[in-house]
Amino acid sequence: MSAHSEEAPELIEAEPTVLVAGADAAGLRLDQWLAASLGPDMSRSRVQMLIRQGAVSVDGKPVDETKRKMAPGESVSVTMPEPEPAEPQGENIALDVLYEDDELIVINKPAGLVVHPGAGNWTGTLVNALIHHCGDSLSGIGGVRRPGIVHRLDKETSGVMVVAKTDRAHKSLSEAFADHGLTGDLKRAYLALVWGIPQRPTGRVDRAVVPEGRDDARHAVTHFAVQERFGESQQEFATASLVECRLETGRTHQIRVHMAHIGHPVIGDPDYGQAFRTKANRLPEPLKSQVKAFPRQALHAWLLAFRHPTTHLTMRFEAPLPRDMEELVGGFRKL
């Protein structure tokens, strides 16, 4: 029941849960009104997460703005995710281990592997694989849902990741990633195959990964350097570039958002490169078909360097481009 007026929203018996705003909802924030309407078991932070995850619609249209103002008569639909299992279980999933000791493990994550369990991906994740591989050494480190995880890669992004196996390592690595290497030895570099050729060989993108003013806006900085240019000497076909991106901050989808912002989205990006999908039509065969069939964003974390939490030595790990991305780059080299 609404905590703001005697006039409570009307609850419609449907799946998902649908609530109709009463007169008392006028001018209230969506997250504020929804948290009060759903009752004491639903916190405002939980409601905000549901909104950002696309689980909330207003009058049939998905919304992702928590501060959106309500109006009387609006119908708000909430799709609740499936209940989480008690804790993730170990699964015998093959891992490409680059290094391992008693404190940490470094792996080369393949594209398609989700890092930790979540809505729609309760099994088959990197965490499930790590629990099987590392056994009890991950128990209790960093929380039940994310044992040992100090950073992550998107599901369809491949490359180097480090995972803590002790509380000491988790604290040290978490601090390094939170600091983004500004006062330490942490370095992260990615290779991205992007549409077009940037005007400058190097650059810096300083832009929040969501629109300024939103309550979840976060400052983000990416440094990029063009490694190769494809099709630069011709005008008949679309051009592309292989770009190295180094993170000064670490935000969700940061590189993908930043490269799209400067007009060079990552090839194959389903979220930020939609406007460039027809670019593939301006390529010769078989590259045209190769690009259209590429199932993911062409983004790979090729370098990770950090200071070991106990030896204090700087460790550096590299992962070459995976075969699918190497073949795609090879196709563009023939332009």
- Sequence-separated (6 or more) residues with CB below 8 Å from residue 75: 12, 18, 19, 20, 21, 58, 59, 60
Locate 228 and state its tokens.
């190769």
Give the CA distances from residue 57 to residues 35, 64, 238, 268, 332, in Å, rounded to whole numbers and listed in that order: 15, 9, 38, 28, 41
Q: Which residue has the tokens 């018996």?
A: 13
d(CA 99, CA 252): 26
Catalytic residue (one of 24, 31, 154, 324): 154
Minimal CA–CA distance to 162: which of 255, 80, 235, 100?
A: 100
Reply yes or no on whether 154 is catalytic: yes
Q: How many CB atoms lie within 10 A of CB 260?
A: 21
Contact 34, 78 (CB under 8 A): yes
> Which residues are known to be catalytic?
154
